[in-house]
């Protein structure tokens, strides 16, 4: 028995290049994912963005109020006096200067840099990639908008937001400008109702955290997901390594030694368990030292993590045993390897190993919670949040169940006398 375990561990130890890849790569991935998604999903996303917006102001604002008055009177909509009143009101609501003030405000200082340019120059700069987008305020925009505000019809001139391609940056810029114009329109609507000075009690909002648990961060997610994913990879590696042993007739020689052939399988399982456990702990501990993934957690928390890692390792050992039995049985070892890879990819994907599980549709997330890596992800999530054994008891049982199921299957599939 001991010899078999030693043999399998030695197979891994001899292949140090692979061993290093399997240990270093997940940690590298955790770091990369952290960088890649920090800008996308993190809390203070906007602070690391630097957006460049060109503003092309073709609207000559100085005489626009005069023009507006003329237009109102000429159209015969109102008398001179009423027009004066409206223009007076409108002068407080000059959309162009409000927009420019907003873009220049402290709120947006760190986020957007404004460049006042001519249209030609701005277009060249966008094409060179120096700017993200151009906001064009067309000639007569103020007059037309204010006129539209007065008569309550859609305006004939509109702001133009020009961009080369739709990217993350341009959509954020567009949302910023559009958010502001929405707000402005709302102000106009309120003015229309003569309700600008109305007293409003705004909702205060608030956040309630259930269970008063700790929050679960993306870094923790990536660490857990990568740990589980590479544990899966290890299962398929053990499976494929059997191919090598078949080729070198190791298996046949074992049969000749008169030792019980099932020990070969058990040796694989035990060594897989040890390796997976070491690998997961390595990933957790090193990620923690590099990225401070679990700041200020107690010793009992870490014991829980060790427990979860052990359960996952158990399930992975079962999977590896199943792969080994299949490898010994099939004629075409390559096809078997390919299928192992597909199974691992499938488990990895729906268990949240390749893309954050939150991107997947709900029903897929629920299926994913039945894969070994998915279950362990759920367990770690709950353990981090609540550190309560009752929360992870059922999924823990599930992992043991998976281990038993896979082990039974692999024993059943294990070649009998003369079948290997």
Partner 1 sequence: MKSVMWAQLMKDKRNPLFILLFIAASIVATILFAGGIQTPTMVAVFSEEENAPEIEEKWHELLNVDSSFQFEIVTPEKAREDVMNGVIDVAVNVTETDYQIVIASELPTVSFVQQHVEKVFQREAQFRALEEAKGDKNVRSKMNSYLKNAPIQIEAKGLDGEGLPNFNLGTQLLFAFVFLVAMFMLGLKVNNVTNDKVSGVWNRMILSPIRKTGMYSGYILYTFLITMFQVIVVLILFKYVMNYEVGDNLGLILLIASFFVFSMISIAMLITGFVKTPEQFYSIYPSVIPLIPLVSGAYMMPGTISNPVLMFIADLFPMSHAMDAIMSVVFYDAGLRDVMMSLLLMLLIGVIAMGLGINLIERRNQ
Closest CA to 187 of 178, 196, 179: 196
Q: Is 55 in the site for partner 1 (CB under 8 A)?
A: no
Which helix (DSSP H) or strand (DSSP E) does residue 55 occupy?
strand 51-57
Q: Are 313 and 273 in contact (CB under 8 A)?
A: yes
Q: Which position among 76, 203, 295, 296 is part of the footprint of partner 1 (CB under 8 A)? A: 203
**Which lies closer to partner 1 via its Cβ, residue 207 or residue 256?**
207
Options 2, 81, 206, 295; binder of partner 1; rule CB under 8 A: 206
- Residue 184 touching partner 1 (CB under 8 A): yes
Checking 80-86 for CB contacts under 8 A at 24+ apart, the result is: 86/150
Query: Which secondary-structure segment (H or E) carries 145?
Result: helix 141-151
Q: Which position among 83, 159, 308, 379 is part of the footprint of partner 1 (CB under 8 A)?
A: 159
Name the residue nearer to partner 1 (CB basis): 51 or 265. 51
Query: Is 305 within 8 Å of 380 (Cβ atoms)?
Result: yes
Could you tell me if 302 and 245 are in contact, meaning their C-beta atoms sit under 8 angstroms apart? no
Question: Between residues 189 and 397, which has the closer beta carbon with respect to partner 1?
Answer: 189
Q: C-alpha 142: how far from its chain's center?
A: 42
Binding mask 11-50 for partner 1 (x = CB under 8 A): ----x-xx--xx--x---x--xx-xx--xxx-x-----x-
CB of 155 to partner 1, least distance (A): 6
| Among 298, 287, 290, CA closest to 383 | 298
52 binds partner 1 (CB under 8 A): no
**Residues between 115 and 144 that touch partner 1 (CB under 8 A):** 123, 126-127, 134
* 185: contact with partner 1 by CB under 8 A: yes
Q: Is 324 one of the binding residues for partner 1 (CB under 8 A)?
A: no
Distance CA 71, CA 75 (A): 6
Q: Least distance (Å) from partner 1 to the CB of residue 260?
A: 26
- Residue 153 in contact with partner 1, rule: CB under 8 A: yes
List, in order, residues 6 or more apart from 151 with CB less than 8 Å away: 77
Question: Cα–Cα distance between 268 and 336 in angstroms, integer?
Answer: 18
Q: Which two tokens stand for residue 255?
A: 């049969």
- The smaller minimum CB distance to partner 1, of residues 341 and 405, is found at 341
Exactly one of 57, 223, 240, 313 binds partner 1 (CB under 8 A); which one?
240
Q: In what order do the strands lie in the sheet with 112-116?
A: 112-116, 51-57, 133-137
Which residue in the set 178, 252, 259, 260 belongs to the binding site for partner 1 (CB under 8 A)? 178
Please, which of residues 345-404 interact with partner 1 by CB under 8 A? 345, 348-349, 354-356, 358-362, 364, 378, 381-382, 385
Nearer to partner 1 by C-beta: 185 or 260? 185
- Smallest gap, in angstroms, from Cβ of residue 228 to partner 1? 13
210-239 binders of partner 1 (CB under 8 A): 210-211, 213-218, 230, 233, 236-237
CB of 386 to partner 1, least distance (A): 8
Give the CA radius of gyration of the chain. Answer: 33
User: Within 261-320, which residues bind partner 1 (CB under 8 A)?
Assistant: none
Instruction: Round to whole Å and give the CA distance between 123 and 129.
Output: 10
CB of 247 to partner 1, least distance (A): 6
> Which residue of 255, 339, 400, 420 would you call a contact of partner 1, by CB under 8 A?
339
HSE value, Cβ hemisphere, 13 Å, CA-based, for 55: 18
The CA-based dihedral angle spanning residues 221, 223, 225, 227, taken in that order and rounded to the nearest 10 degrees: -160
Determine, following the binding rule CB under 8 A, whether residue 64 of this chain makes contact with partner 1: no
Exposed e or buried b per residue across 349-360, where buried means at least 16 C-beta atoms within 10 angstroms of its C-beta = bbbbbeebbeeb
Q: Specify which residues 134 forms β-bridges with.
A: 54, 162
Q: Rounded to the nearest whole angstrom, what is the least distance from the CB of residue 364 to partner 1 in the complex? A: 6
What are 389's two structure tokens? 């054994």
Smallest separation, CB 36 to partner 1 (Å): 6
Distance CA 262, CA 162 (A): 69
Residue 156 phi, psi (nearest 5)? -90, -20
| Options 66-74, 162-170, 296-304, 410-418: segment touching partner 1 (CB under 8 A) | 162-170
Binding-site size, partner 1 (CB under 8 A): 111
For the CB of residue 292, give the shortest distance to partner 1 in the complex, in Å.
Answer: 16
């Amino acid at each position: 028995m001991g010899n078999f375990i030693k043999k399998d561990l030695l197979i891994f130890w001899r292949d140090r290049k692979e061993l290093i890849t399997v240990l270093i790569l997940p940690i590298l991935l955790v770091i990369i994912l952290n960088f890649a998604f920090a800008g996308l999903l993190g809390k203070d996303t906007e602070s690391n963005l630097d957006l460049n917006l060109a503003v092309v102001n073709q609207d000559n604002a100085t005489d626009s109020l005069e023009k507006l008055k003329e237009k109102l009177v000429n159209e015969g909509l109102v008398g001179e006096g009423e027009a004066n009143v409206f223009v007076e009101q409108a002068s407080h609501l000059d959309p162009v200067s409000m927009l420019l003030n907003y873009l220049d405000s402290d709120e947006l200082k760190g986020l957007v840099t404004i460049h006042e340019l001519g249209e030609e120059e701005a277009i060249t700069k966008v094409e060179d990639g120096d700017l993200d987008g151009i906001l064009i305020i067309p000639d007569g925009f103020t007059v037309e908008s204010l006129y539209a505000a007065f008569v309550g019809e859609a305006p004939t001139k509109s702001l133009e937001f020009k961009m080369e391609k739709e990217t993350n940056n341009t959509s954020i810029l567009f949302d910023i400008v559009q958010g502001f114009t929405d707000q402005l329109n709302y102000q106009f609507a309120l003015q229309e109702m003569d309700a600008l000075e109305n007293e409003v009690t705004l909702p205060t909002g608030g956040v309630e955290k259930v269970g008063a648990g700790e929050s679960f961060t993306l870094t923790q997610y990536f660490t857990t997901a990568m740990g589980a994913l590479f544990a899966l990879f290890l299962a398929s590696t053990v499976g494929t390594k059997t191919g090598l042993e078949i080729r070198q007739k190791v298996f046949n020689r074992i049969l000749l030694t008169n030792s019980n052939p099932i020990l070969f399988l058990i040796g694989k399982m035990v060594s897989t368990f040890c390796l997976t456990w070491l690998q997961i702990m390595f990933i957790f501990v090193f990620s923690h030292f590099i990225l401070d993934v679990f700041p200020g957690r107690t010793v009992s928390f870490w014991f829980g993590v060790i427990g979860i890692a052990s359960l996952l390792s158990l399930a992975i050992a079962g999977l590896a045993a199943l792969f080994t039995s299949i490898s010994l049985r099939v004629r075409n070892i390559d096809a078997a390897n390919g299928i192992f890879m597909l199974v691992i990819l499938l488990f990895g994907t729906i268990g949240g190993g390749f893309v954050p599980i939150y991107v997947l549709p709900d029903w897929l997330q629920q299926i994913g919670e039945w894969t070994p890596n998915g279950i362990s992800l759920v367990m770690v999530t709950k353990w981090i949040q609540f550190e309560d054994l009752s929360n992870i008891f059922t999924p823990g049982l599930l992992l043991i169940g998976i281990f038993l199921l896979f082990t039974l299957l692999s024993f059943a599939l294990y070649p009998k006398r003369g079948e290997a």
